[in-house]
Chains A and B, each alone.
Chain A
Amino acid sequence: MNATRPPHAAPEKTHLKIGFVPLADAAPLVAAKRLEFGHAHGLTLELSRQPSWAALRDKLLAGELDAAHTLYGLVYGVQLGMGGPRQDMAVLMVLNRNGQAITLSNRLADALAEHGALPRALAALGRKPIFAQTFPTGTHAMWLNYWLAAQGTHPLRDIDSVVIPPPQMVVALTGERLDGFCAGEPWPALARQRGVGRTVIRSGEIWPDHPEKVLACRRDFVARYPNTARALVQTMLEACRWLDGAGHRKEIAQWLARPEMLGVDAALIAEQLDGRDASDRARVKFFESGAVNFPLESEGIWFLTQFERWGMIARRGDYREIAREVNQTALYRKAALAIGVEVPAAFGEPVFVDGRVWDGGNAAAYVEGFGVRG
């Protein structure tokens, strides 16, 4: 090897097609494109809006997309081939933490206020309750399941869990056929604004500072284009850093509000990106001096423990090995170092809404410790 080679070798592939689903937490991608943060790293990004997570997944796998803004759990679902295609996947970085919520219909919210406990409020509905989320292996399904179980409601037996496209959830909630949903902002906020539902808990109150959307790609993309992958992480880190600047989220909200993006009032999106009405542990975070973005392996393993908990996969002993291969921590460190973003020296152990702690250690014991399981 040439010892004098510059530390930042040129990207092998320079034009990248990046998929996203229109949500407030697509903000880093929109910022990266609008301000062309990629140019400094030799990249031109092309954003490609996707109508569903399934379409985004298929295009990632078919090579029509190079990388994407993706639900954390979805990446692990594809890694294991759960209910669909199997492919070796890569999580390049965490794009945001928090920013999702569980919203109940007014009817159920009233019943909960009256009865105090969720199982009693659900019984008052007089039929099997129906909750919606966004993708079976995704984050919202896991937040919903976790919260229901913590309230003493079995998510697989006591309710019907369906998937509804987020833009349709607010309408569905106005009818009699949906009792609650878990989705990303601004959809819960829109339900509140229209007076058709009330947010009962924010995702950051279930798992404070939980990882939410990640930047994902196929693992062979990282192997073939290592410099491109590193340059992309640098680009997205800079976009996340920019979002922490004063007034910047308001600016990005204007872009997200457009009809071809979310088609939702810019002020509402700005409010959610700002997170002023949420507590500090529950507000959406994109950077926080780099505390947000490291793809911590134990966080990937958590999704595997929940898949096992709900009977979606049989127990296996290699969660740590899977996470080590999926989460590109070495690549992330290199990218962060190159642009002076700090990697936290230590990570805390999250305490969940039910008081349980995930220390990233014994997954089997962790799963067995849950009273409510699939």
Chain B
Amino acid sequence: MLRVLLVTDTDKPIGDLRDTLARLGYEMLANPATPQALHHVVERERPDVIIVDTESPSRDTLEQLAVMNATAPRPVLMFSSDANQQLIRAAVHAGVTAYLVEGLAGERIAPILEVALARFAQEAQLRERLTQAERELAERKVIDRAKRILMEQQKMTEPAAYATLRKRAMDQSLKLAEVARQIVAAAEPRDHANHSRK
């Protein structure tokens, strides 16, 4: 049975991957709390596979073990000439990094990578949707603000302010939010001055 270490030290909620892999019959090692604990777990417990977020700050700790300890797992990258290159490529794309002990056959790691990939990819999509939503909200706010500035400074009605924004965006081939940002930026220092005078 493969011994698997899942490192969860970034804000990606991948903790439940641990339960999934345990259910699939892999021996899951305890998640270390610090880089030093990670070092000791790898040396003492000798995992066959380590799954870690590509963006984890602990990765260099694993690199130290890979270089200095011949039996420690080594990083697997998408340029390896492994038969599972496709799978590894997808994993790298989703932000999964795997470290494997030498000589571990590709087909034995494939199911682990598949599950990890599914979990990370799902997370990546969630994240993408969240940032998209945040971006849209932020853009709406700045457009509203720009409209108010035009309405106040140029005594425009709301539809006229909006039409002005749209026209400028089209003339300059910019996004509406971008034009709005310029208007807000231009008005902001004056606003501050007004506030400080009050």
Chain A positions within 8 Å of B, measured between CB atoms, are 51-55, 58, 61-62, 77, 82-85, 87, 130, 134-137, 161-165, 167-168, 172, 177-178, 312
Contact = CB atoms under 8 A, between A and B. Distances in A.
B32 interface: no
B36 A165 contact: no
A162 B64 contact: yes
B54 A164 contact: no
Interface in B24-67: 34-36, 39, 54-64, 66-67
Contacts, number: 92
B58 A165 contact: yes
A55 B97 CA distance: 9
Contacts of B92: 58, 62
Given A136-B68, A177-B36, A163 B60 contact: yes
B43 to A, nearest CB: 9
13 contacts: A54-B63, A55-B59, A58-B77, A58-B92, A62-B78, A83-B74, A84-B63, A84-B77, A162-B36, A163-B63, A164-B61, A165-B61, A168-B57
Given A61-B79, A84-B74, A161 B58 contact: no
A54 B65 CA distance: 13
Contacts of B64: 135-136, 161-163
B79 to A, nearest CB: 6
Interface string B71-104: 0001101111000000000001000010000000
Contact of B35 (A87, A136, A168): A168
A243 to B, nearest CB: 27
B178 to A, nearest CB: 18
A62 B58 CA distance: 20
Contacts of A84: 63, 66-67, 74-75, 77
Contact of A85 (B61, B62, B67, B80): B80
Contacts of B68: 83, 136, 161, 312
B59 A52 contact: yes
Contacts of B58: 52, 165
Contacts of A85: 75, 77, 79-80
A165 B35 contact: yes
Contact of A55 (B36, B55, B67): B55
Contact of A82 (B61, B67, B77, B80): B67
B77 A53 contact: no
